[in-house]
Amino acid sequence: MLFVSLPHPRFLTRHIPSFVGIELRLDLFPTLDLDEIAKAIQTRPTLLTLRRTNLRTEAEREKWIETLLVLKPAYLDLEWDMAPLFLEKMISQYPETKFVLSYHNFETLPEDLEDLYRRMNRYNVFTYKIAAHTRSTNEALQLLLFAKTHPKTSVICMGERGSFGRVLGPIVGNRIDFACLDERSKTAPGQLTLDELVNVYRYQSLNRETAIYGLIGNPIEKSPGHLYHNRAFFEKKLNAVYVKMSLLENELDTFMALAKKIAIRGLSVTIPLKEHVLLFAATEQERIGALNTLAIADEKIRGINTDGSGALDAIEQIQSVKNKKIVILGAGGTARGIAFEAKKRGACLTILNRTLKRAEDLAAELDGKSGSLSEVPSGYDILINTTPNSMPISSNQIRPNTLVLDVIYSPKETPLIKEALLKNCRIVYGEEMYVKQAQRQTAFWISNEKTNSS
Ligand code: NAP
């Protein structure tokens, strides 16, 4: 059951989809009005929560909880460290209410989750809720794995880096999950809005069989991957979800081990991990030296690079690159993917980069020319910016009436693109390349799923 947390009674009038329950955070309400609470309970499954605050003594809180239970709420939250006798009495006296026995740690992931579970498990309740601050993607995955293997557990990954974990609750067996109504009404760090959970991640259709896909890298905030891939899964009627996981190089080893355990089926890989993932995956594109797509099955990981084919597919919607002179700005992972694919499709390449040596090395592999960013040749047909710098050359180096691709997708119109438009150039936007390379990722994942099931 997904609950939307309401920190104030004024939110009771808001429209909330019928399959979503409400959690009344009564400890945040200015006053406790029993008539108002009773009315809310009649409308939909309601979880009543009255956390410890300075406003009431523990004895007063216990009294309030008993009063609330008389209203027969569908769910009620009891903190696991309340007096054992009180907990036992409430649980046995109010069998019509489903109790959520909750543990919160706003600082860290507890080291001994097993011990915590054992101590919570002595109470016969609907679910053991373990909400802990997860400082990294790997900590969030550890907590999610715990839910997968411990009955009746619902884990909540608090903190921005664990935020993706809030999507995966139904897949690891959570009995309850939480969303906020909007950004302003968040009641816990990293909480997602109801709109995101329902309309982007389709929380209501996730279950234990849902395949997990995602993006790894850093930074990932601007990536539209969750919007694109979840829509694509929906349109293709696939029981799959895609989440964004922030990951650094030194976390990759542990992540790969956890990814296999939790059965992540596929990954998009972005800056700075495209080269590092080569260590983990079998690929036929080793020469490119960078992968942006992984498929994981039966302990085996296969990788491909769709950056190059995505960029070239987008360009060739406008013009063929065969025998055309292409200037590539940058010599990083994306540039490598694009350069190899362009060469394969018959283009003549010039690679220009801030660090000259990298441009020289890449050009040498592809029989191309190289130089620094100030050395843009005057005669070229296509200019491709693969650096994160949205204006890496001066405007007088952009040749009129040529074709320009900037891989940056946010903002859509970079300074480079604006200048190119003024010079009557045809434009391929970063988002067009994004869609093309993402389509190839989906196709790769689907073919991998088919190979597994056959
Ligand atoms: P990368 O491997 O780190 O390479 C970055 C390249 O940009 C290097 O050549 C680097 O030069 C150069 N560079 C970095 N900062 C620069 C600056 N301030 N001025 C000039 N050059 C600079 O990164 P990547 O994985 O290739 O990703 C590059 C960009 O492509 C990212 O913005 C990413 O979001 C975007 N991207 C877009 C799509 C899409 O579908 N539209 C797909 C993939 C990537 P040095 O060698 O001198 O460091």
Digitized pLDDT (tens) for each residue of the chain, 454 residues in all: 999 999 988 888 888 999 999 999 999 999 999 999 999 999 999 999 999 998 899 999 999 999 999 999 999 999 999 999 999 999 999 999 999 999 999 999 999 999 999 999 999 999 999 999 999 999 999 999 999 999 999 999 999 999 999 999 999 999 999 999 988 888 777 899 999 999 999 999 999 999 999 999 999 999 999 999 999 999 999 999 999 999 999 999 999 999 999 999 999 999 899 999 999 999 888 889 999 999 999 889 999 999 999 999 999 999 999 999 999 999 998 999 999 999 999 999 999 999 999 999 999 999 999 999 999 998 999 999 999 999 999 999 999 999 999 999 999 999 999 999 999 999 999 999 999 999 999 999 999 886 666 5
Question: Could you tell me how far CA 454 lies from the centroid of its own chain?
Answer: 29
- The number of C-alpha atoms within 13 Å of 135 and in the hemisphere containing its C-beta is 6
Reply yes or no on whether 276 is catalytic. Answer: no
- CA 157 to CA 165: how far, in whole Å? 6
pLDDT, residue 453, reads 63
Reply yes or no on whether 129 is catalytic. Answer: yes
Q: Is there an atom of ligand 1 within 6 Å of 219 CB?
A: no
Catalytic residue among 129, 150, 229, 244: 129
What's this model's pTM, rounded to 2 decimal places?
0.93
Q: Is there an atom of ligand 1 within 6 Å of 135 CB?
A: no
pLDDT, residue 13, reads 81
Q: Is there an atom of ligand 1 within 6 Å of 392 CB?
A: yes
pLDDT, residue 454, reads 57
CA 139, 142, 143: angle at the middle one, nearest 5?
A: 90
Closest CA to 276 of 300, 241, 301, 240: 301
Q: Taking a C-beta distance cutoff of 8 angstroms, is the pair 347, 325 a contact?
A: yes
- What spacing in Å lies between the alpha carbon of 331 and ligand 1's midpoint? 8
Q: Is there an atom of ligand 1 within 6 Å of 347 CB?
A: no
